[in-house]
Chains A and B, each alone.
Chain A
Amino acid sequence: MFGRILAVLFNSKLAPRTLNLLRDLAAHHKSKLSIHGLLDENLLQMTAQANGQGIDQLRQKEKNRFWYEIYGVEESFKEAGLFVNIGVSEFINEDDLLSLINQSKCDLLVVCEPGESDTRKIEKLVRHIEIPILLIPS
C-alpha cells in the first residue's frame, strides 16, 4: 500500500518500540524507507543560549550524534533485509519538511516520537500535503 515511507525524527534518540514499529510497517508494506533526522535550529539556539555554548560547536556535536543514531538504525534495518536510505538536515521552518516530503516522493509520512513543538510543526503542514501522516508518540 505504501511504496515509499518517509520517517522523520526531530530528536536523536529512538526508542526500541518505535524502531520495531517502523520496521514492521516497512516490512508489512514492502516499502522503501527513508529515515531523515531533522536538527531543529530553533531548539539548538535555545539550548546553546541556555547552556552558554557556542552554536557552531553545539550544532556539529549534535549532528555527529544524530548521524551516529541514524547510521545505527540503517545498519539494523538493512541487516533485516529492508530497503532504507538516510539523511540529516537542519530544520528552520515547515518549508524544510515540505521540501523533504516532495523530494522523497513518499506516500506516507511517519513522525517518530514528536515533542509538543514538533506536533505543532506537523499541524501547520497538514493542509499543504496530500499524503497520510502517522505519528508515533514517545
Chain B
Amino acid sequence: MKFEETLSRDFILLDISSKNVKTLFNDFAGFLGGKGVIDDPPKFVRDLLNREARGSTAIGNGIAIPHLMIPELDRSYILIARLKKAIAFDAPDNKPVGFVFLMLSPAGNREEYLQNLARIAGVLHREGTLAMLAKAKTAAEIIAAVVAPAKTNFFTRNSRLIYCLASVVIFFLVSLLVLPRIGIPINELSISRGDIKFNETIWLNKQIWASTIFFGTVLGTLLFWQYRVAIAACGLGLLLMSGTMDLTTAVDFMSIPTILFIISMMVMAAWLEYLGFFKYAVTTIINRAGPYPRRILFILMLLSVLVGGVTGEVTGILIMSAIAIAICNEINLNPLPFIISIIFSINIGSALTLLGNPIGIYIAFSGGLTFEDFLRWATPISLISTLFVSALLIFIFRSSVPSKAGGTMRRLDPWASVSDRQKMKIGGVMFLALILLIGFSKRIDSFLALMPNTALVAIPILFVGIIVFLESRQGKFLVTEGVDWWTVLFFMFLFAKAACLEYTGVTPKLAYQTADLAQRFPFPFVDPAYSMTVTALVIITVFSAITSGFVDNLPIIAALVPIVKNLKVIGLPHANILWWGLLFGGCFGGNLTMIGSSANMVALSVYEKSEGKLIKFGTWIKYGVIIFLISIVLALCLLSMQIKLAE
C-alpha cells in the first residue's frame, strides 16, 4: 500500500486539546475505537505508552511520530493530530510537540512500515511543510501539505538575496544622484590638502563604486553572516577589477599591523584557555565570595569586565558563562539574570583596553593611540559604567537573586580545567608580562627609537614564538585552531574596503558635511569653544552605538574611522575625543539587541544548550535598552567633561 493511500481526511484531528501524552493517546484510542480500527483501546494506549517509556518518539521541531505494529490490522493507517497547545514529549531538542503523526501497521509488513515512517519523517523535515501544516484550515489542506512538495518558486526561495541585490541597486542609484551634489567646499584647507580633486568626475565614479560595494558588503554580511568572507572577497575583487583601487593600495589598507596583533592575541588567549588559566583565576576568586548570590553576581560582573577587557569578548563570555551556570546549578538559582548581566558587563568591558575588541585594536592603529591612551581614556569610563550598570542590574534582579543562598555552597574546583599546573603558572606569568610590556610599548618604541606602535605588534609576535616553542607539538595546533582565520580574512578584506572609502573621497566628503553640521548646530549647555566637537561626538557615538546594536560593529567602525581621521585633518578642535566616542559607541551599542555583538550570541547559545530554554527578543530588549541608554549617556557625559584634555 502506497504512503499516499494510507492518508485519509477521515483520520485527521485538527486542534485537539489533549493536555499530555497519556490523554493524547486516550483521545487517539477513543477515535480509532470509534472508527473500528482497533478492538481494545485500553491495550492500545498501554502499548503506545510502553513504547514511549522505551524512548520518546518525538523527533524534534515540535513533531512526534508514535508508531506501532498491530497484528489484527488489515492495512496501514496514519492518524494526524494538530494540538491546540503543544505538550511535553521528552523530545531530543526539549521543544514541546504540536504535531503528532500516529503510524499503525499490520504485523508482518516491516518493510512498508519502515518506508512509511521514513517518508513521514522526511516530509516533516522538508522546508515549508510545518508552516503549511500550521496554516492549514481543513483536513484536505493537511493532506496536501504532507503529500505535495512545499510549493516554493524562485522568488520565495531567494527572497533575501533578491531584497539584498535590490537594495544595493537602489543604493547605487541614490549614490549616483546624491554624491555629485555633496561637494568638497573650495577653501584654503581643501585646496592645500588636495581634497578638491574629489569633486572631479573620475573620483565621483570611484566614490559611487566604493560606497555601493561597501554598502553591499555590510548588508550582505548582515543577511548572510555565514558567507561574510565570500561577500567581502567578492567586494574587494570588484573594487580591484573596476579600477576603483589598485592592488598596492588595497594591500596597504588591509592594516597588516592590526591583523598581526589580532592573530598574536588570539594565539595567546587560546593557549591560556587551553591551560585553564582563566577558569582557574575566576573560580579561585568566586570561591572566596561565599554563598551570597548578589555578591557573586557583582564579582562575576567585575570579573567579566576584566576578563573581557584582556581576552576579548568571545573568549571572555565562554569562560564566564560556563562558570556562572556551574555556580547557579550549585546554589539552585535561575542562571538567566547571571547570563544577561555577564553579557552586558563583557560588552562594556570590551572597551576597557585595546585588547578587548577588534574595533579597539583597529581604532588604536588608525588613530595612533597607545595602550596607555586606552588606560587614560577608556579604562576609567568603562569601570564607572560597570559600577552603574552592576548596581542597576542587582536592583533589577533583586527578586530572583537573593542576598543569601538557601543552603551551603560547595566550592568549585579551580584545578578542574588545569591539566598541567606547572605550565599553567608559566602561562599566567607570561600573560602578566605581556600585558605589562604592551602597557609600556610606547616607551619601548621611544627607548629603542622605533616607529610608533612597533613594539605593540612586535611584543605579542615574540610571545607567540615563545608559546609555539614551549608547546612544541601542540604549538601548531594552537596556531591553526586557536586563530579564527576565517574572521581574520574577513577583517583584512573589510579594512581594505573601508579604507577605500577614504581613498576615493567618500569619507572626506562626509567629514566636511559632519563638520558643517556641527558648525550649524553647536551643542548647547557647553563652552562654545567645544560645542562643535561635542555635536560631532554625539553624532559619531550615537550613530555607531545604534547601528552596532543591529549590525556587526566592525564594518560600522571601519567606515567611521576615516571620517574621524578627516575631521581631525580638517581642523575640528579636540577631534581626538571622537576616537573614544567611536570605541564606546561600538562596544556599548552591542548591548542594545541580542544580535548586537558576537558575545551576546555565544552566551545565548551556551544558555540554550545548558538550560534548553531560549531567551526571547522581548526579554532581552527590556533590559538592553535601559543598559544601552545609561552606558552611552554616561560615556558621552564623561567624554564631554574631559574634552579640553583631548589634543
Contact yes or no, A81 B274, CB < 8 A: no
Chain A residues in 8 Å Cβ range of B400: none
Binding site secondary structure of chain A: helix
**Using an 8 Å CB-CB cutoff, how does the interface string of A67-110 with B read, 1 for contact, 0 for none?**
11001101100100111111111000000000100111000000
Given known A87-B60, A103-B92, contact A71–B114 (CB-CB < 8 A): yes
Stretch from B118-126, B256-264, B533-541 that touches the partner? B118-126
**Using an 8 Å CB-CB cutoff, how does the interface string of B202-219 with A read, 1 for contact, 0 for none?**
000000000000000000
Chain B residues in 8 Å Cβ range of A127: 274, 481
Whether B110 is near chain A, meaning CB under 8 Å from some CB there, is yes
Chain A residues in 8 Å Cβ range of B94: 103
Whether B644 is near chain A, meaning CB under 8 Å from some CB there, is no
Whether B446 is near chain A, meaning CB under 8 Å from some CB there, is no
Given known A102-B610, A103-B609, A104-B92, contact A124–B481 (CB-CB < 8 A): yes
Chain A residues in 8 Å Cβ range of B90: 85
Contact yes or no, A75 B114, CB < 8 A: yes
Whether B54 is near chain A, meaning CB under 8 Å from some CB there, is yes
Whether B151 is near chain A, meaning CB under 8 Å from some CB there, is no
Stretch from A17-25, A58-66, A111-119 that touches the partner? A58-66
In the complex, number of A-B residue pairs with CB atoms less than 8 Å apart = 72
Contact yes or no, B92 A87, CB < 8 A: yes
Within 8 A of B (CB), among A12-37: 32-34, 36
Chain B residues in 8 Å Cβ range of A74: 55
**Using an 8 Å CB-CB cutoff, how does the interface string of B55-67 with A read, 1 for contact, 0 for none?**
1111110000001
Contact yes or no, B125 A85, CB < 8 A: no
Whether B467 is near chain A, meaning CB under 8 Å from some CB there, is no
Given known A67-B117, A67-B121, contact A85–B55 (CB-CB < 8 A): yes
Contact yes or no, B609 A71, CB < 8 A: no
B157's closest neighbor in chain A, by CB?
A56
Chain B residues in 8 Å Cβ range of A66: 118
Interface residues contributed by chain A, number (CB under 8 Å):
31
B149's closest neighbor in chain A, by CB?
A60
Contact yes or no, B59 A63, CB < 8 A: no
Given known A63-B125, A87-B92, A103-B609, contact A82–B54 (CB-CB < 8 A): yes
**Distance from B129 Cβ to chain A, minimum over Cβ atoms (Å):** 11
Given known A99-B609, A103-B612, A127-B274, contact A65–B118 (CB-CB < 8 A): yes
**Using an 8 Å CB-CB cutoff, how does the interface string of B470-481 with A read, 1 for contact, 0 for none?**
000000000001
Assembled-state Cα–Cα distance A84/B94 (Å):
16
Chain A residues in 8 Å Cβ range of B60: 87, 89
Whether B408 is near chain A, meaning CB under 8 Å from some CB there, is no
Contact yes or no, A85 B56, CB < 8 A: yes
Contact yes or no, B55 A60, CB < 8 A: no
B67's closest neighbor in chain A, by CB?
A71
**Using an 8 Å CB-CB cutoff, how does the interface string of B107-135 with A read, 1 for contact, 0 for none?**
00010001101110110011000000000
Contact yes or no, B609 A32, CB < 8 A: no
B65's closest neighbor in chain A, by CB?
A71
Chain A residues in 8 Å Cβ range of B246: none
Assembled-state Cα–Cα distance A82/B54 (Å):
6
Contact yes or no, B609 A83, CB < 8 A: no
Assembled-state Cα–Cα distance A134/B398 (Å):
45
Whether B51 is near chain A, meaning CB under 8 Å from some CB there, is yes
Whether B93 is near chain A, meaning CB under 8 Å from some CB there, is yes
Contact yes or no, A68 B114, CB < 8 A: yes
Given known A83-B55, A103-B609, contact A88–B121 (CB-CB < 8 A): yes
Contact yes or no, A64 B118, CB < 8 A: yes
Chain A residues in 8 Å Cβ range of B118: 64-68, 71
Assembled-state Cα–Cα distance A71/B605 (Å):
30
Given known A34-B92, A64-B122, A67-B117, contact A85–B609 (CB-CB < 8 A): no
A99's closest neighbor in chain B, by CB?
B609
Contact yes or no, A78 B54, CB < 8 A: yes
Chain B residues in 8 Å Cβ range of A65: 118
Given known A78-B51, A87-B92, A88-B125, contact A68–B57 (CB-CB < 8 A): no
**Distance from A53 Cβ to chain B, minimum over Cβ atoms (Å):** 16
Q: What are 13 A-B contacts defined by CB distance under 8 Å?
A: A36-B92, A60-B122, A63-B125, A64-B122, A65-B118, A71-B114, A74-B55, A75-B110, A78-B51, A81-B54, A84-B55, A85-B55, A88-B121
Known pairs A34-B92, A84-B55, A85-B57. 5 more at Cβ < 8 A? A60-B126, A63-B122, A84-B54, A87-B59, A88-B125
For the complex of A and B, 8 pairs with smallest distance between CB atoms: A67-B118, A68-B118, A102-B609, A64-B122, A85-B55, A67-B121, A84-B55, A71-B117
